[in-house]
Structures are given as structure tokens and as C-alpha cells.
Amino acid sequence: MAVRFKWLAHGEGLPMPVRQSRAAAGHDLAAALGEDEVMTLAPGERALVPCGFALALPEGYEAQVRPRSGLAARFGVTVLNAPGTVDADYRGEVKVILVNHGAEPFAIRRGDRIAQMVFAAVPDLALESVQELEETDRGANGFGSTGMAG
Ligand SMILES: O=c1ccn([C@H]2C[C@H](O)[C@@H](COP(=O)(O)OP(=O)(O)OP(=O)(O)O)O2)c(=O)[nH]1
Ligand SMILES: [Mg+2]
């Protein structure tokens, strides 16, 4: 199934988001900054990084904006709201909320691949209000109730 994709003016000239290997789950997202622009995230700082395109996803799908593990492992840079949610009815620019949890400033330039986008199906479930819920073995136990030791 196709996802309709439209470059915005400042995105023109960038490569399309691409899967870096044949069966990769994510399309890498490049920063659509100006040609000579450098966006620097100080330690602890966050920024909205423009991707330079808009989408029209088929209804019943979302695009998730996820971190790249290399940036997280090497620099402590990740997507603050991971996984970001791009709704099927959103027609604005896709952006990445990047945060620097590392100890060093992190510089971003035009075309740098700073995150990845994974398409996912969203089941069309509706909430139904009831008085009682079916019982289960777990019941209300959660939040570590099964312990940690192996
Ligand atoms: O990482 C993200 C997250 C969101 N969006 C865009 C697409 C999404 O459809 C819209 C709204 O996102 P979300 O629902 O997460 O934010 P909100 O704070 O609930 O805003 P709204 O009230 O507009 O829904 O913002 C992005 O481009 N990147
Ligand atoms: Mg919302």
C-alpha cells in the first residue's frame, strides 16, 4: 500500500526517507535544515527538527517517529516523545523532537539522519463503558509484582 508523500519547499533536494537495508523496519528521517545551518543541542536541550515533508497516511495507519540506536548509544541523543505519533489525518510537516541526554553538545546539519519512521496499523477499537470487568489471574497486580530475579 502506498503512503502519499509531499516535499515542502525547504525539503526539496533531500533524499526521500529510505530503508537502509532491504528489510529494515524504519525509513530514516533527514533533518531539513538550511544549507549552512547548524542546529546544536546542548546537553539536556531539545529541539523540533523539521523533516521537510508531509504525508497522507491511509486511514487505519500511523507513522511512529523513533530514535536511532546509534545516536542513542554513541551520543545519548534520542526522540523525547518516542515513539512519536503521526496521525493519518495530519497534513503538517513531520518533525522530530530530538533531545540530547549526553554530556557533549550535539550538532545537526541538513541531511543528517536523526530518527526513523515506522509505519504501523492502528486497530479501530472503541471504548465501551461497563460496570464490571472480567476477572483474570493477574487481577490488579502490576508494576513489578512478579519481581526481578531470574
Ligand atoms: O514526533 C512527532 C509527533 C507528532 N507529530 C505531528 C503529527 C501528529 O499527527 C501531530 C500531533 O501529535 P500528537 O497527537 O502526538 O501531539 P498532541 O500534543 O496531542 O497534539 P494535537 O493536540 O495536535 O493532537 O503532530 C510529528 O510530526 N512528530
Ligand atoms: Mg494528539
CATH 3.40.50.720 for domain 4-121: no
Domain ranges of the chain: 4-121
Give residue ranges with CB within 6 A of ligand 1. 65, 81, 84-87, 90, 94-95, 97
- How many whole angstroms separate alpha carbon 108 and alpha carbon 114? 8
Residue 142: predicted pLDDT: 97
Stated pTM of the model: 0.96
Q: How far apart are CA 85 and CA 81, in angstroms?
A: 9
Residue-wise pLDDT tens digits, 109-138: 999 999 999 999 999 999 999 999 999 999
What's the whole-number average pLDDT of the chain? 97
- Mean pLDDT calculated for residue range 69-82: 98
- Which atom number of ligand 1 is nearest to the Cα of residue 51? 27
Percent of the chain predicted with pLDDT > 70: 100
